[in-house]
Chain A
Amino acid sequence: MINQIVFLYFAAVIVLSAVLTITRRNPVHSVLFMLLLFFHIAGVFVLLNAEFLAAVQLIVYAGAILILYLFVVMLLNVDRESKSDRANRFWPWIVAFGLVIFAEIGLLVARGSFPLEGGQIMNKTGIKELGIDLYTKYLVPFEIASVILLVGLVGAVMLAKKKND
């Protein structure tokens, strides 16, 4: 019962801050609402017994990626939006389209059968099991992920550097 109340609180804040993220004029406000969203998603992960992923969500997403966004938003001067339009001229149709997508997924969920009870995946320590799986069964994808990070690093430096040197 208490779990359900906590979940409903997290879900309400997640949906509300997502809507605020995509509707604010000022991108800095959007980034701050996104921060609130990430904190509550980490709470949902804790409800699902994924404490390590909750920590990763806060450290990597909120701590690194979002701060990168905030830096770039503040680096470029983007307060001209206070005068021009936020959305393109098709937005009412696209919002209706989004509602249709959500209704379809809701219909599918309502017609399907889902388990009511979750299992305790990690009764001892979850991080240990996760690490063993990551470094044995998923070693090759792990190495590929490190190559992707290297590509991101080199690509960002190459793109953002000035032409004249």
Chain B
Amino acid sequence: MIPLSWYVLLSAALFTIGVVGVLTRRNVFIILMSIELMLNAANINLVAFSHYLQNLTGQIFVIFVITVAAAEAAVALALIILLARNRGTVYVDEFNIMKG
């Protein structure tokens, strides 16, 4: 059988890659995809703990996480379309509307 710690390490690696992607990239699409990577890391952890604890609650929470990810993607992509239409760019360091 596979030890639980392997799943935890896989999820930690995926989460770390997501954090690095959010903090380094300039393209707002890649930043959103990195957020999806972090949500997926959390999903792997939830399903793994649900399997090893013999409790279905983790799997139900994964369904909720996927729901929230879908709603978040829809709203965020609408915001990106709006920003790209108004500012003509998708790079986060060129969005300085709020700068005093």
Contact = CB atoms under 8 A, between A and B. Distances in A.
Interface residues of B, number: 69
* Most B-side CB within 10 Å, residue of A3, A53, A106, A112: A53
Interface in B21-56: 21, 23-27, 29-30, 32-34, 36-37, 40, 43-44, 47-48, 50-56
Interface in A55-113: 56-57, 60-61, 64-65, 68-69, 72-73, 75-76, 78, 81, 84-88, 90-91, 94-95, 97-99, 101-102, 105-106, 109-110, 112
A98 B51 contact: no
Nearest to A91: B24
Question: From DSSP, what is the main secondary structure of chain B's interface residues?
Answer: helix
A86 B26 contact: yes
A36 interface: no
A115 B52 contact: yes
Contact of B55 (A50, A52, A121): A121
Interface residues on A, range: 35 or more
B80 to A, nearest CB: 7
Given A69-B29, A91-B24, 15 more contacts: A21-B30, A34-B37, A41-B40, A57-B43, A61-B69, A72-B81, A86-B27, A98-B20, A102-B16, A105-B8, A105-B9, A155-B75, A156-B78, A157-B78, A159-B82
Interface of A: 3-4, 7, 11, 14-15, 18-19, 21-22, 27, 30-31, 34, 37-38, 41, 44-45, 47-50, 52-53, 56-57, 60-61, 64-65, 68-69, 72-73, 75-76, 78, 81, 84-88, 90-91, 94-95, 97-99, 101-102, 105-106, 109-110, 112, 114-121, 126, 129-130, 133-134, 138, 141, 145, 148-149, 151-153, 155-157, 159-160
